[in-house]
Structure 1
C-alpha cells in the first residue's frame, strides 16, 4: 500500500478527514486520508502518494508532484 498513487476525491488538509481513491487488487478503493505534513490543503483531483497506511481504511498522503 505504501508508495502507491491515488487521486484526491475529498479535500485533504489539517483538521479535515479527506478521501482518496487508489487502484488496488484489480479495482479501485476509497480510503480516509490525512496530510502527512499536517500543513496546507490538497485539493480534489490532485495525484497523491501513500506515505503511511493504517488498517483498515486510513492513509497519510502527500502530493505526488509539486505545483
Structure 2
C-alpha cells in the first residue's frame, strides 16, 4: 500500500479526515480510504494526486502531495 498513487476525493488537511481513492491490485479495483496529511502543511483539495507514505489497517492512510 505504501507508495501507491491516488486522487483526493474529500479535502485532506490539518484537523480534517479526508478521503482518497487508491487502486488496489489484489482486489482488481479502486477503493476509498480515510486520509490524513503525512506532514503538516497546506490542505490538499479535491482532485490532487497523492502518494501514500503510511498505511494503518484496515482503511487509513497518510498521504503527501505527488507534485
Structure 1, unaligned runs of 5 or more: none
CA–CA separation in structure 2 for the residues paired with 1:33 and 1:18 = 5
More helix by share: 2
Q: TM-score if structure 1 supplies the norm length?
A: 0.94
Tell me which residue corresponds to 1:7: 7
Report the 3-state secondary structure (helix = DSSP H, G, I; strand = E; otherwise coil) of the residue aligned with 1:38: coil
Number of residue pairs the alignment of both structures matches? 65
CA–CA separation in structure 2 for the residues paired with 1:55 and 1:23 = 16
Q: TM-score if structure 2 supplies the norm length?
A: 0.94
Q: Tell me how large the CA RMSD over aligned residues is.
A: 0.6
- Poorly superposed stretches of 4+, deviation over 6 Å: none
